[in-house]
């Protein structure tokens, strides 16, 4: 697959393009990390993270690519790994504070939210996540999901979000009572 086709596919939210890039560049990209004080596992994580960054940019149409895809992803890997190394060295020098987590209430809330998302139907999950993470337009969502038209997608998104909000709010209130 040529770069152009890959970009087109990602623009439509075609995840097979993601798979393709992963397999094609795995060795090359993981070397960024393994040749620089990283383990195989570190490398895998970094490459996956980088690829997802790339995916999100490309899918949402925010990407202006002036080089090869591989070059671009390569530099994302380098940046992420550099950040990770910096973070590691900082933690070694300071005592690890361990309490990087948000407070208990926030965590509880996030947990409720995550569970609610998981409880959504497949279609709603997809529509919402494509909208909020991939940044696909309604048109592309309609296309990808096989909806009749863009308006259908809009309505679906609206309804799904409302459903999710209500579900979360009902659960949240309940747990307040249980406290």
Partner 1 sequence: MSNQQNYTEMIDAYLTGQLNGEESSRLMELLEQDPALKDEFLLQQDIVNSLRVHRRNELKNRLNNIETGTGVSFNGAGTLKMVAGTALVALIGTGIYFAFQQNDGEGETLNPVEVTLQPDYTPAISEAPAMAETSEKKEEAALQQNKEVYEEIDAPKADAPAFAPTGYQAAKDAGIKSAPAKVAGSVPSGAKKPAAEPAEVVKPEVISFFDEQDASANTPEANTPEDKLNTIRSFSTQNIEVSTVTDKRYSFHYMFFDNQLHIYGEFSKVPYEVLEVNTGTYTRYFLYHNGLYYELNPDQRKVTRLKELNNEGMIKELEITRNEKLKR
Using CB under 8 A, list all residues that contact partner 1.
Answer: 15, 18-19, 22-23, 26, 39-42, 44-45, 48-53, 55-57, 76, 79-80, 83, 87-88, 91-92, 96, 98, 100-103, 106, 109-122, 125, 128-135, 161, 164-165, 168-169, 175
Residue with tokens 């940044």: 135
Q: How far is the CB of 3 from partner 1 (least distance, A)?
A: 19
CA angle in degrees (0–180, nearest 5) for 151-157-158: 90
Q: How far is the CB of 55 from partner 1 (least distance, A)?
A: 7
Structure token pair of residue 115 = 């569970």
**Number of residues assigned to the chain:** 179
Residue 19: how many CB atoms within 10 A of its CB? 11
Q: How far is the CB of 46 from partner 1 (least distance, A)?
A: 9
- Beta strands, E only, the chain: none
Please give the Cα distance from 107 to 113 (Å, whole number): 10
Pick the closest to residue 160 from 125, 132, 130, 109 (CA basis): 125
Q: How far is the CB of 22 from partner 1 (least distance, A)?
A: 5
């Amino acid at each position: 697959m040529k770069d152009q086709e890959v970009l087109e596919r990602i623009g439509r939210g075609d995840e097979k393009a993601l798979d393709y890039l992963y397999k094609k560049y795995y060795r090359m990209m993981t070397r960024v990390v393994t040749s620089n004080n990283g383990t195989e596992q570190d490398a895998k994580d970094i490459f996956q993270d980088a690829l997802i960054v790339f995916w999100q940019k490309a899918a949402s149409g925010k990407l202006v690519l002036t080089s090869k895809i591989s070059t671009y992803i390569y530099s994302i890997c380098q940046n992420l790994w550099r950040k990770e190394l910096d973070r590691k060295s900082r933690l070694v020098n300071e005592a690890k504070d361990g309490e990087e987590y948000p407070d208990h209430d926030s965590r509880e809330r996030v947990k409720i939210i995550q569970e609610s998302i998981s409880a959504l139907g497949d279609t709603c999950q997809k529509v919402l996540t494509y909208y909020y993470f991939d940044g696909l337009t309604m048109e592309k969502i309609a296309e990808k999901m096989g909806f009749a038209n863009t308006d259908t997608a809009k309505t679906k998104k609206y309804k799904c979000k409302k459903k999710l909000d209500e579900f979360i709010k009902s659960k949240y209130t309940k747990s307040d009572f249980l406290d």
